[in-house]
Amino acid sequence: MAAAVLAGCSANDGTKNEPAVKWGFERDDDLPLLCMEVSGGSVVAATGDGWAPNGDFVQLHLGGGSIPGTQVKSVTSETDGTRLTVVLESVGVTTLDLTWTEWRLTPPAGVDVASVGSLSLDYGDGNAIELDRLLVSDGDDAPDPNGRPVA
């Protein structure tokens, strides 16, 4: 390796590291819960973390304890916007209940939401996992048990 550095060579794997582009984000409790299709073709409220393009923004669906709540720390993408990375605030102890929070992720100028192909979530420990792409509610206002609209 030392010889390669002295010779002016690079020991990287040839992949191009593009700068991260910052996205806007805000919690939006007025958004309907994201949905998923289950066996038999029924569409129900999603039971896990996920995301979906929703018009001019990406909707992020997160579950967690109500106290202190799930908080987004940052949202970035590659320059072309195809892969989003969301980092959550690292939290210690939380309540053992489960609440869903919906987040509105807004792209910077020049990035088309339709180009997003994947979303990785870092729960605050530095290890990102890719989330499933979910479905946006079809607009039926049938509420879930907490009074929020779902599919």
Query: How does pLDDT run across 118-130, given as a tens digit for each residue?
Result: 999 999 889 999 9
Domain count, the chain: 1
Please state the pTM of the whole predicted model.
0.78
The whole domain housing 98 covers 19-133
**How much of the chain, in percent, has pLDDT values that exceed 70?**
78
Q: pLDDT tens, 34-82?
A: 999 999 988 999 988 999 999 999 999 999 888 888 899 999 998 888 9
Strand order in the sheet with 24-27: 24-27, 99-106, 57-64, 50-54, 132-133
The CA distance from 113 to 115, in Å, is: 5
**Domain membership flag for residue 141:** no
| pLDDT tier for residue 17 given thresholds of 50, 70 and 90 | low
**Domain membership flag for residue 83:** yes
Nearest residue to 104 via CA among 30, 48, 36, 46: 30
**Domain membership flag for residue 110:** yes
Residue 3's H or E segment, with its range, is helix 2-6
Question: Collapsing DSSP states into helix, strand and coil, what is residue 40?
Answer: helix
**Domain membership flag for residue 101:** yes
